[in-house]
Structure 1
Amino acid sequence: MIELSYEPAFVEEALAALSAHAAHWTLVSTVSVYANQQQPAANEDAAVHEPKDMGDYGQAKVAAERTSERVLGERLLIARPGLITGPKDPTDRFSYWVSRLALAGAAQVLIPAVQGRYVQVIDVRDVAAWIIDAGQRELQGVVNVVGTPRPLADVLDTAAQVVGFTGELVAAEDQWLQEHQVSYWSGERSLPLWLPREDFGFLQRGNRRYKSAAGPERDMTDLLADILADERARALDRERRAGLDRGQELELLAELARRG
């Protein structure tokens, strides 16, 4: 049995209906359960939120974990993915960058200051394959299902190579971006994968347990190439759920140039 829910009623109803008949149960949770996002390489033993507000995604997932542990005991695997990506990613967070570099070609692209920033993603195909395999092996316990943390600068360089980008990456400092109403992480008028410096641990969770459990992680170049093919098929200039549209970006680049 594989469960994705975090709504308390759905979790409790699924357990009531099916737990007695399940030899093994996998709850797909999230690294958002962790209370401290400032500590790089923190593993599965790190402290989690106290589940007081079920409207908060991370806290609701903690509640789902605890309810599942109470009912299932040793029949439970808790998989905690981080940022999941791949072709057809509906969030546009990771895919924004390879698409934007391809759209810009030889022109400028606005990026956040990359010093000390990391990216940690995992392909949805790898997550799905591992969860199925782990269930068949009846693995137990808690596993961070996350890829290897990579410097944001390296990921952008790899993306540039994949698309043949020959333009300039123009970095803006956090304060300047915030002053110009650019949001962190996702959503409209954002720079995807850009996080406050106090949350750097979010994209640097420890993944030793996942790798020890035969967790797959595909090559970054191959992942970016697959995403680029999908982005081209869906149109590089389409409306997105995350990022800046090209017009917004060009306005910001012009303003940044006037300042400098």
Structure 2
Amino acid sequence: MTDRILVLGGTGWVGRRVAEAWLERGARVSVTARGGRAAPAGADLVVTDRDLPEAYDALAATEWDEIVDVSSVPAHVAQAASALGDRAAHATYISSVSVYADATRVGADERAAIVEPLGEADAYDYARAKVAAEGEAAALGARVSVIRPGLIVGPGDPTDRFGYWPARFSAAGAEAVLVPEATALRAQVIDVDDLVSFVVASGARGFDGLVDAVGPSHPLAEVVTVARDAAGHTGEVHTAPADWLERHGVAHWAGPRSLPLWLPADMPGFASRSGAAYRAAGGRTRPLAETVARVLEDERERGVARSRTSGLERAEELALIEALHAER
């Protein structure tokens, strides 16, 4: 019998990859979205607004073998669980390691404390929203798995974080690139297709656990070096201390005028989670160099010199390099 799969939010980056992976297994897949983006080839698109009471009316008559939800809006997850829970043999909620309250403890696992759930009257906070959504998904009891990925990277990544480094080294060629001083800093990612493989395999066997889906923790300097080598960069690399970057308005982690993946020194645990439960449950991670190569190919297809949502604009970077040398 063909599996019936529903991916709520199946036209976004991760949701689309999940839908495509289920399609490759021969499943019949439906995806929901507000519209505006096409469904994966072979999937049925159900256009619906999850803010509306009738959002799931067109879906509630179907018996689903698996429902996957990626939403970070607790009310959406709650309504889906209420409307479709009795129709689902199993469900998977994709959360985030951002839910953890303590970013200082290296090697922490799923038993670590999490932040308080977002209340209905509270200002939106991503981590607290994910915690609240996990609680809503838990209403399905033993028929639900909660997967908390680390930083998801790979081809098609809309956040522009991980891809900044191979793209910047590729664009710079023989010219200079600015990097943060990263002697003690770490980076921990999971390739989107490794995550998706785990999500699909877990759904297929009805896995009902809680797992941090993370890859190995690498020195940030290693990630930068692997990106540089893959891109064939031959220019100078200029290293700036953290306090200097902060004084010059360079942000950590993501967003405009940032150095992506660069974390404050007081957050060593954020990029050093255990990952033991993920591996024990069958999770796999490909080598860092393979992910970097995949991302570099994708970045070159999209344009390494394009405007990005995260990172330094090239003009900003060159101005910072000039200022760094002027002050030394």
**CA contact under 8 A between 1:93 and 1:242: conserved in structure 2?**
yes
Q: Are residues 1:59 and 2:128 paired?
A: yes
TM-score if structure 2 supplies the norm length?
Answer: 0.77
Q: 1:190 to 1:3 in 2, by over 3 A?
A: same
For residue 202 of structure 1, give the secondary structure of its aligned residue in structure 2. coil
Shift of 1:96: 0.1
Partners of 1:231 and 1:62 in 2: CA distance: 32
**CA contact under 8 A between 1:42 and 1:205: conserved in structure 2?**
yes
Q: Between Structure 1 and Structure 2, whose CA radius of gyration is higher?
A: 2
Which of 296, 319, 325 is the matching residue for 1:228? 296
Shift of 1:89: 1.0
Q: Are residues 1:5 and 2:71 paired?
A: yes
- 1:228-247 matched pairs, under 5 angstroms: 228-247=296-315
2:94 is aligned to 28
Q: Give the partner amino acid of 2:127.
A: G
**CA contact under 8 A between 1:54 and 1:60: conserved in structure 2?**
no
**CA contact under 8 A between 2:173 and 2:233: conserved in structure 1?**
yes
Q: Which has the higher helix share?
A: 1
For residue 36 of structure 1, give the secondary structure of its aligned residue in structure 2. coil
Q: 1:54 to 1:18 in 2, by over 3 A?
A: farther
Q: How many residues align?
A: 259
- In structure 2, list runs of 5 or more residues that go unmatched: 1-66
Partners of 1:73 and 1:87 in 2: CA distance: 34
Partners of 1:237 and 1:127 in 2: CA distance: 28
* Greater mean alpha carbon deviation, residues 89-98 or residues 7-16: 7-16
Q: Deviations over 1:166-218 (max 9, x none)?
A: 22221111111111111111111111011111122111111011111111211
Which of 171, 175, 187 is the matching residue for 2:255? 187
Q: Deviations over 1:93-146 (max 9, x none)?
A: 000001111111222211111111111111111111110100111111210011
Q: Give the partner amino acid of 1:170.
A: H
* Greater mean alpha carbon deviation, residues 245-254 or residues 100-109: 100-109
Partners of 1:203 and 1:155 in 2: CA distance: 12
Partners of 2:71 and 2:291 in 1: CA distance: 27
**CA contact under 8 A between 1:88 and 1:230: conserved in structure 2?**
yes
Shift of 1:31: 0.4
Which of 164, 169, 174 is the matching residue for 2:242? 174
Which of 83, 108, 120 is the matching residue for 1:17? 83
Partners of 1:54 and 1:62 in 2: CA distance: 14
Q: Are residues 1:68 and 2:137 paired?
A: yes
TM-score if structure 1 supplies the norm length?
Answer: 0.96
Partners of 1:39 and 1:85 in 2: CA distance: 23
Q: Which has the higher contact order (CA 8 A, sep 6+)?
A: 1
Partners of 1:242 and 1:183 in 2: CA distance: 10
Partners of 2:152 and 2:123 in 1: CA distance: 23
- 1:1-260 matched pairs, under 5 angstroms: 1-52=67-118, 53=122, 55-69=124-138, 71-260=139-328
**CA contact under 8 A between 2:107 and 2:269: conserved in structure 1?**
yes
Shift of 1:54: 5.7
**CA contact under 8 A between 2:74 and 2:132: conserved in structure 1?**
yes
Partners of 1:104 and 1:68 in 2: CA distance: 45
Alignment RMSD: 1.2
